[in-house]
Amino acid sequence: MFVLAVLMPYLSPRPIAGMDVQPVAMALAPVMIASRWLAGEGRLRRAEWWLVLIGLGSLAYCLPFRFAGVAEYIRVCAPLAIGAAIVVGLNRALRLVSPAVVMVAAAAYLGAVLVQLALPGVYSAVVAPFLSEVRYDPTAMRGPNGIAVEPSMVGNVCALFIALPALYRESWWKERPALGLALRTMAAVTAVLTASVTGILSCVAVAAALYLRGFDARVLWRVLGIGGAVLLAGWVAIRLEPGGRLGDLLAGVSENPLWILTELSIVLRYAGGLVSLSNLGASPLGDGIGQLTPAIVDRGVAFWANLLNWDSYYVSAVAGYIEATASGLSSLVIRAGIFGLAAIVFLFVLVSRGRYGLVRTLLAATMLINVSLATPFVWLVFSLGILAQAADSETAVASSARGPGAGQVSWP
């Protein structure tokens, strides 16, 4: 239940209005930790200790009376603390649960999208009551959201599913190649159906990183084949949907690859981070609240607009949609300044080490740009980073003890 709650963080038996991420996994994490502590698995790894300290520090750095209430204080300042609890619980849960649970989650995402498109009445009756909001309009450019709130969130999960057979119990998936292929196929189809630009780009980037890790001639042919398929799909998309966001994006990128940096949906995702970084000079220790005030927004947008040649359309769009750009990542830097930036750097160092570090880094980067730090599956990536380092450490110890050529230690 805990792992499924992490993989499907937007569902809840009693959704809380106004919240994208529902607190099911967050509430189950302490229960998971307590149960494993009673079973004798209470010792924390070094990386887990660091996460716990950063989480507690994020609560202590801010003064609660500066917020409208306790609920607002927790919502703004607790994502790192909540995330640390999820990581500690997941490190224990992932050693117990079968990887087949991922197949269940992937099937749920694909099934929900298909039902939403083909049987909207059934979707409204069966799935929608478990979401805080459904932001899908068939007449607009926004794609179906399935069991998430936004199509981009579904795209992030799809990228995670594509990477998981390499990141989590790799030997288990290698013994069941049909399941691995089915998982990745379901994820790819789901991402395409959502038509999320950032989600599809995340899936493509992760898939490319997986293939390029063990580069050889066969991989080169695969990359060329995938590239050809992407170009063909783009050609079809431009002609079938000439006025749509995906078609416009592919048409613009075909003329100038740097055009992607000015596509509105992508600008809105990284603009908040850029604005927050431009505020470090004026407030190196942060403001303790994490809000993007009009003064910060105006100053930051002007700085980056000049540097990246944003025209007035994108400048006004960023200023108008600043709430959308105020993700957990940018608000952390605004709130804690250089200390918030140091926490982000630590998180990326944590996931970049060990095997498939580039893949986990790409996942973390796209998720932190697309969603808030409070989203549980963001913390699943960091849990996988800790597990991978632990496995590498055990392998090194075993090899050293046995001498050259010693066999690898299998996952628990």
Tokens read off for 19: 């919240």
User: Which residues, other chains included, contact 248 with Cβ-Cβ below 8 Å and sequence gap of 6+?
Assistant: 263
Tens digit of each residue's pLDDT (9 = 90 or more) over 102-135? 999 999 999 999 999 899 899 999 998 999 888 8
User: For residue 411, what pLDDT is reported?
Assistant: 39
CB 360 within 8 A of CB 352: yes
**Predicted confidence pLDDT, tens digits, the chain (412 residues):** 999 999 999 999 998 887 888 889 999 999 988 888 888 877 888 888 999 999 999 888 887 887 888 888 887 888 899 999 999 999 889 888 899 999 999 999 999 999 998 998 999 999 989 998 888 877 766 788 889 988 888 988 999 999 999 998 888 999 999 999 999 999 999 998 888 877 888 888 888 888 776 544 455 556 556 666 665 665 555 555 544 555 566 666 566 555 566 666 667 667 777 788 888 888 888 888 877 777 787 788 788 777 777 777 667 777 676 665 566 778 888 888 899 899 988 989 888 887 788 889 888 888 887 777 888 888 999 999 888 877 766 665 555 555 554 444 343 3
Residue pair 99/4 in contact by the 8 Å Cβ criterion:
no
Q: Which structure tokens are listed for 370?
A: 């697309």
What integer pLDDT is reported at residue 163 of this predicted model? 92
Distance CA 61, CA 286 (A): 10
Spell out the domain ranges in the chain: 2-213+263-402
What sign does the CA torsion over 302, 307, 309, 314 have?
negative
Question: For the packed helices 328-352 and 46-60, what is the interaxial angle rounded to 10 degrees?
Answer: 170
Structure tokens at 39: 């079973």
Q: What is the pLDDT of residues 287-321, one digit of tens each?
A: 888 777 777 877 887 887 777 777 776 677 776 76
What count of other Cβ atoms lies within 10 Å of the Cβ of residue 316?
12
| Residue located via tokens 């950063």 | 54
Rounded to whole angstroms, the Cα distance separating 331 from 373 reads 10
How far, in Å, CA of 200 to CA of 223, rounded? 16
3-state SS of the chain is: CHHHHHHCCCCCCCCCCCCCCCCHHHHHHHHHHHHHHHCCCCCCCHHHHHHHHHHHHHHHCCCHHHCCCHHHHHHHHCHHHHHHHHHHHHHHHCCCCCCHHHHHHHHHHHHHHHHHHHCHHHHHHHCHHHCCCCCCCCCCCCCCCCCCCCHHHHHHHHHHHHHHHHHCCHHHHHCCHHHHHHHHHHHHHHHHHHCCHHHHHHHHHHHHHHHHHCCCHHHHHHHHHHHHHHHHHHHHHHHHCCCCHHHHHHHHHHHCHHHHHHCHHHHHHHHHHHHHHHCCCCCCCCCCCCCCCHHHHHHHHHHHHHHHCCCHHHHHHHHHCHHHHCCHHHHHHHHHHHHHHHHHHHHHHHHHCCCCHHHHHHHHHHHHHHCCCCCHHHHHHHHHHHHHHHHHHHHHHHHHHHCCCCCCCCCC
CB atoms within 10 A of CB 216: 8
CA dihedral 223, 225, 228, 230 (to 10 degrees): -70
Instruction: Show the tokens assigned to 266.
Output: 């992508």
Inter-residue contact 102 to 401 (CB < 8 Å): no
- Distance, in Å, from the CA atom of 302 to the CA atom of 315, rounded to the nearest integer, reads 8
The fraction of the chain above a pLDDT of 70, given in percent, is 77
pTM of full prediction above 0.75: yes
Six-digit token string for 9: 């963080």
Interatomic CA distance for residues 4 and 14, integer angstroms: 16
